Amino acid sequence: MSNILKREAVFAVTGLVTVLMFVEYFFFPQDWIVASTIRNWAVIIYNISLGLGGVRLIQQHVMGTQRRKENWQFSALFLVAFVVMLLTGLAGYLGTGVATSNGIYNWLFVNVYTPLGSTAYAITGFYIFSAAYRAFRARNLDAALMLVAGCFVILSNAPVGEVIWSGIPAIGEWFRFVGQVPGMRAFEVVGALGMIAYGFRALLGKERGFYAGGAEE
Amino acid sequence: MSDQNIFDKLQNIDRRVFYWVLFITLMVPFIYPIGLPVKVVQNTRDLYEGITGDNINPGDIAIMNFGYGVSAWSECAPGFTVCAKALFREGARIVFMGSQYDVELSMNKLMNDAREDFANKVYGVDYVFLGYFTGGESAIAQLATDAWTVYPSDHYVTPDAQIPLMQDFHGWQDVTVVLSSDTGDVGSYFLRQWQGSHGTRLAEIGIAMNGSTDYPYYLAGNYFGLSIGSRGGAELEVLIREPGEATTAMDSINASHLLIVLAVILANVGYLLSRRKA
Amino acid sequence: MTFILLILTFAAMYYYMYLGKQGKVFKIRTLPAIQAIPEAVGRSAEMGQPVMWTPGIAGSLNDSTQGPQTLAAISILEYVAEEAVKAGVKIAAICPLPDALPLVEETMRTAYMSQGKPEEFNIDSIRFLSGQSAYMTGTLGYLQRERPASTILVGGFYYEAVIIAEGGNTIGAMQIGGTNNIHQMPFLVATCDYMLLAEELYAAGAAISANPDMLGSIKGEDMIKWLIVVLICVGFLLGAARITFLADLLRV
Amino acid sequence: MAYPTELLSVVGLWTGWLLMLMIYSYPLYKENVAYRFAEHIFVAIFLAINLVVNFQYLMNTCVTPLLQGNLLMIVPLVLGILIYTMLIPEYRWVSRYPIALLVGAGFGLGMRGVIKPSILDAVVSTITAPSAGTMMNWVNFLYIAVGLLSSILYFLLTYEHTGLLQPPTKLGRLFIMIGLGAYFGNTVLFRFTMLTGRAQFFLQVLKIIPM
């Protein structure tokens, strides 16, 4: 009994919910209350599940601090910053319903989170540039074609391309508006079929990857 | 010293030298601007014309989705701002929403960048800020069929029942056009659950990286218009005749793009020479 | 038309999965990147250097677009580990994904056991680095210190692919890349000697794990690809002759 | 946006500027204490904002309606909490039910929605002849059709690329490389634009250029 509860019943839920989504799409022009309700549940469950990654991260830093592991000071710093931001945010929310109504939370949000968010995400600009010189080689026909197309698109994306040679925008735009389309469209079509294959295996309960790291109980 | 080992020496330059050269190159044009003209391409023109003139009537409802966060402001905010201005000037009513934790900051920035347009608009009547949502594709599909379950209230916790605009917005039937600006997948959710399922007019104010994957959908008519990256933002600023952040950034884009193409060419010339020698 | 194509796709996949269950084995075509694995391990044996495998940080297992890439990467690890144990080469698995760690360990341990050398398995050959910058810094540090002769960069990558591939390239390692994330493919193509593009990653995983369901559904996919190819051929000729019958039909 | 005058805002501006330098000390110099300090602050604050914003959304969409009488909302609330049994090994199997519902809804919506835009519309667009009769339009029409055909043939996974299939599949891989090249070009524009924004912020805070 317990094995059915741990495996077959789970796959049945996946399959049933998937079929409900199909039934709504193909047989209900407006919307179907059953599918709409389940979708609304999925939104809420997804929302609650977002805390999972956080729990693991907090566990890791609490252990790091307790056991004085290497660089434990940074784990302590993490916990302090996390608690201050969490409490001030919740205080703001419980007070007026909008977290940023709390002065400390709003100040940290605008003056610490915003610059750090932009800075961390933009770091890739550095890496692309050094990789372009040190690693991007036309080692074969594939890579050569890719680099030629890439350079023309780069120079046609920047207005300066036209100043260098009037042909650049024309060739660059051909690559952007025609040249890339078959390759990208092939990824689209093949990707769609890949998603359907993966969903179909999940529908039949043949996809072990989802359930808690795929380990069989 | 034969030219071949110059390239070997250049190849082993410390990575940090490249980083300093790039960062300085990006700064110089802000101090000494050049201001080259920006040519408008068809996909951006279709986006602008699709939300102006007789394609939008006063009172129509448009959804504008902040699918980008503070980290992509320089890429998406300029184009997003121009589209919001254009829609307001056509008398459209706008529902702002977003899938990022910092959507409130993006909304504040928009209200500041387009303050003249927001000045003569009434909150709750001409526009509403619904704020953050989560739930991935399920939430976007649910927004199409029963919007009030995804957003029982706006960002300021005012229940939908007390917001005039929300009385006319319950699902896809009430929406004339959806504009999504994404670093992530929400644009493709609107594509599958709104445009693909109900034929809603959809356009993307996209990041440049997604330009290649978005463009075939524009060609197939799934997107009626498409702006690609900060270059698209600069083109939209040309179309609305109000130069802004994207136009200012174009000079740095020019300098840095020249630099990377030179780097690729230099590297490969050295590589081919050393391969011929070997 | 959407309904018909969906049912056709399900039918094709189910039919070949059923045949697979009956024992029919579908062979995945030759993938140069997988054929190069013995060569990569051989190079490490010659140079007395280790082989490095890493799956990228995007692939948490219950993410429907990234998870499958990690599972395919772990199947490829199984093959690499077996070849490495046979050749007596050290293998390092650098994994930034907490939920995939048990699977990585289980795969490495089984590889050593299947080659009859369970005692040679060393748990320290699996390194866990949490967080993208720690993962990038740690992997770069490993590349510069240990200087592996070959690196296997397959799985769900984000922009750490640029840095790790460049690091491997500048120490002269032979690199095999593979991902289904389009945004990282250009960088891996430009920096790796062999590359698994998009669905090829899953095909490689299926070929190695010989999972009948996986192979059957891939065969079913191929049939639908043939159908699409026929539709395009016929449609193109009709379109050129300005006959829009097929295009209108597909628009229904 | 004008340069702030109020003390708290000026302090905030310079805080952001210093944190940026701490993060960029990693690529521009080397991994160091300042970088690790800024990184841990960022991850901590990002996680806190994540929890606060999602808690707020959960209250609005689930708890408040539940307290206002929509008793059905107890189901997703309980199922959502059950996901956390994943952290307790012996009860991990319980977490499979909420995950099963998420996976079922995710794939159900994904599969039903992907066919029209990503397959049918793609084929229709490829086989629709250009309305305008210019030579270049017809060349592009042929190019895209042949390109898509050969690229899809390249992705046939259970057929060897030999014999009759060898030429088209080899050609298909070249079309794919052109697509990836354009993608690389667009990625450069994206990454450099974000770094440009940081270079601008650097100069603005130093008042070298206006805000």
* Same domain for C139 and C153: yes
B-chain residues within 8 Å CB-CB of A117? 69-71, 102
Successive 10-residue mean pLDDT values, chain C, 252 residues: 92 94 90 94 95 87 75 91 93 87 87 89 85 81 91 92 88 93 90 92 89 91 96 93 88 82
Tokens of C11: 């039918």
SS3 category, D134: coil
For B249, C20, C26, the CA distances from C211, given in Å and listed in that order, are 52, 9, 10
| Residues pairing with C177 in the sheet | C153, C195
Best mutation site among A19, A32, A41 for testing chain D: the one with the most D CBs within 10 Å?
Answer: A41
Q: Do B138 and D24 touch (CB under 8 A)?
A: no
* Same domain for C225 and C159: no
What chain C residue is nearest to B137 in terms of C-alpha separation?
C64
Q: Are D92 and D85 spatial neighbours (Cβ–Cβ below 8 Å)? A: yes
Best mutation site among B15, B183, B275 for testing chain C: the one with the most C CBs within 10 Å?
Answer: B15
Complete DSSP assignment for C127-149: EE--SHHHHHHHHHHHHHHH--S
* Average pLDDT rounded to a whole number, residues A188-200: 91
pLDDT at residue number B8: 67
User: CA of B255, closest CA in chain A: separation in Å?
Assistant: 8
Domain count, chain C: 2
Tokens of A123: 């770091």
Of chain A residues 67-126, which have a CB less than 8 A from chain B? Answer: 96-98, 100, 109-110, 113-114, 117-118, 120-122, 125-126
What chain C residue is nearest to D149 in terms of C-alpha separation?
C229
Q: Do A130 and B15 touch (CB under 8 A)?
A: yes
**Calpha distance A210→D82 (Å, rounded):** 16
* Same domain for C12 and C80: no
Of chain D residues 61-120, which have a CB less than 8 A from chain B? Answer: 61, 64-65, 105-106, 109-110, 113-114, 116-117
Residue D61 has pLDDT above 60, yes or no: yes
* Average pLDDT rounded to a whole number, residues D122-134: 88
User: CA of B262, closest CA in chain D: separation in Å?
Assistant: 14
D-chain residues within 8 Å CB-CB of C160? none
* pLDDT tier, A72 (very low <50, low <70, confident <90, very high otherwise): confident
* Same domain for C220 and C187: no
D-chain residues within 8 Å CB-CB of A45? 76, 79-80, 83, 98, 101-102
State the CATH number of the domain containing residue C182: 3.40.50.720
SS3 category, C66: coil
* pLDDT tier, A63 (very low <50, low <70, confident <90, very high otherwise): confident
For A83, A85, B152, C57, the CA distances from A57, given in Å and listed in that order, are 13, 16, 31, 15
Q: Do B220 and D195 touch (CB under 8 A)?
A: no
**Calpha distance C52→C126 (Å, rounded):** 10
pLDDT at residue number D1: 67
B-chain residues within 8 Å CB-CB of C182? 212-213
Instruction: List chains touching B (3+ CB pairs under 8 A).
Output: A, C, D
- The sign of the CA dihedral B250, B252, B255, B256 is negative
User: CA of C64, closest CA in chain B: separation in Å?
Assistant: 12
**Would you give the end-to-end CA distance of chain A in angstroms?**
13
Nearest to C64 among D107, D119, D180 (CB): D107
What chain B residue is nearest to A46 in terms of C-alpha separation?
B135
Q: Are C239 and D129 spatial neighbours (Cβ–Cβ below 8 Å)? A: yes
H or E element at residue C52: strand C51-54
* pLDDT tier, B10 (very low <50, low <70, confident <90, very high otherwise): low
Domain finish residue from C188, C204, C220: C204
pLDDT in tens, B96-120: 999 999 999 999 999 999 999 999 9
Give the largest CA-CA distance in chain C: 70
**Calpha distance B133→D51 (Å, rounded):** 13
pLDDT in tens, B155-183: 999 999 999 999 999 999 999 999 999 99
User: CA of D88, closest CA in chain A: separation in Å?
Assistant: 11
Q: Do D183 and C186 touch (CB under 8 A)?
A: yes
For A178, B46, D138, the CA distances from D134, given in Å and listed in that order, are 15, 21, 7
* Same domain for C57 and C14: no
Contacts of B188 (CB under 8 A, 6+ apart): none
Q: Do A43 and B150 touch (CB under 8 A)?
A: yes
* Same domain for C45 and C19: no
Q: Do D62 and A79 touch (CB under 8 A)?
A: no
Residue B6 has pLDDT above 80, yes or no: no
B-chain residues within 8 Å CB-CB of D46? 101
What chain D residue is nearest to B157 in terms of C-alpha separation?
D60
Nearest to C225 among D99, D126, D156 (CB): D156
pLDDT in tens, D152-167: 999 999 999 999 999 9
Among candidate residues C85, C51, C45, the one with its CA nearest the CA of residue C154: C51
* Same domain for C18 and C110: no
Residue B254 has pLDDT above 90, yes or no: yes
* Same domain for C115 and C82: yes
Tokens of C127: 């390194």
Q: Say whether residue B256 is in contact with chain D using an 8 A CB cutoff.
A: yes
* Same domain for C162 and C242: no
- The sign of the CA dihedral A102, A108, A110, A113 is negative
pLDDT at residue number B259: 93
Domain finish residue from C204, C220, C243: C204
pLDDT at residue number A85: 96
pLDDT at residue number C245: 87
Q: Say whether residue C182 is in contact with chain B using an 8 A CB cutoff.
A: yes
Instruction: List chains touching A (3+ CB pairs under 8 A).
Output: B, C, D
Among candidate residues B255, B269, B268, the one with its CA nearest the CA of residue B26: B255
pLDDT at residue number A202: 85
Q: Do D158 and C235 touch (CB under 8 A)?
A: no
* Same domain for C83 and C13: no
Residue D137 has pLDDT above 70, yes or no: yes
* Average pLDDT rounded to a whole number, residues D82-86: 89
Q: Do B145 and A30 touch (CB under 8 A)?
A: yes
Residue A217 has pLDDT above 50, yes or no: no
Q: Where are the domains of chain D?
A: 129-211
pLDDT in tens, A9-29: 888 899 999 999 999 988 887
What chain C residue is nearest to B213 in terms of C-alpha separation?
C182
User: CA of C32, closest CA in chain B: separation in Å?
Assistant: 23
C-chain residues within 8 Å CB-CB of A204? 14, 17, 213
* pLDDT tier, B139 (very low <50, low <70, confident <90, very high otherwise): very high
* Average pLDDT rounded to a whole number, residues A146-163: 92
Q: Say whether residue A151 is in contact with chain B using an 8 A CB cutoff.
A: yes
pLDDT at residue number A1: 63
* Average pLDDT rounded to a whole number, residues A78-88: 95
C-chain residues within 8 Å CB-CB of B213? 182
pLDDT at residue number B29: 93
What's the mean pLDDT when you consider all of chain B?
92
Nearest to C68 among A150, A190, A198 (CB): A198
ipTM of the complex model: 0.89
Q: Are C197 and C185 spatial neighbours (Cβ–Cβ below 8 Å)? A: yes
- The sign of the CA dihedral B118, B123, B127, B130 is positive
Residue B59 has pLDDT above 90, yes or no: yes
* pLDDT tier, D125 (very low <50, low <70, confident <90, very high otherwise): very high
pLDDT in tens, B70-96: 989 999 999 999 999 999 999 999 999
User: CA of D205, closest CA in chain B: separation in Å?
Assistant: 13
pLDDT at residue number B77: 96
* pLDDT tier, B1 (very low <50, low <70, confident <90, very high otherwise): very low
Tokens of D19: 């944190």
* Average pLDDT rounded to a whole number, residues A152-164: 91
Residue A215 has pLDDT above 60, yes or no: no
Amino acid present at D66? L
Q: What are phi and psi of A125, to 5 degrees?
A: -60, -40
* pLDDT tier, B278 (very low <50, low <70, confident <90, very high otherwise): low
Q: Are C169 and C145 spatial neighbours (Cβ–Cβ below 8 Å)? A: no
* Same domain for C183 and C100: yes
**Calpha distance B133→B120 (Å, rounded):** 28
pLDDT at residue number A49: 87
What chain C residue is nearest to D96 in terms of C-alpha separation?
C62
CB pairs under 8 A between A and D: 384
Range of the domain at C163: 32-204
* Same domain for C150 and C129: yes
- The sign of the CA dihedral D40, D41, D47, D50 is negative
B-chain residues within 8 Å CB-CB of D1? 112
pLDDT at residue number A216: 42
Written in H, E and C, the secondary structure of A135-156 is CCCCCCHHHHHHHHHHHHHHHH
Q: Give the dihedral of Cα atoms C192, C194, C197, C202; nearest 10 deg.
A: -120
A-chain residues within 8 Å CB-CB of B274? none
What chain B residue is nearest to D181 in terms of C-alpha separation?
B212
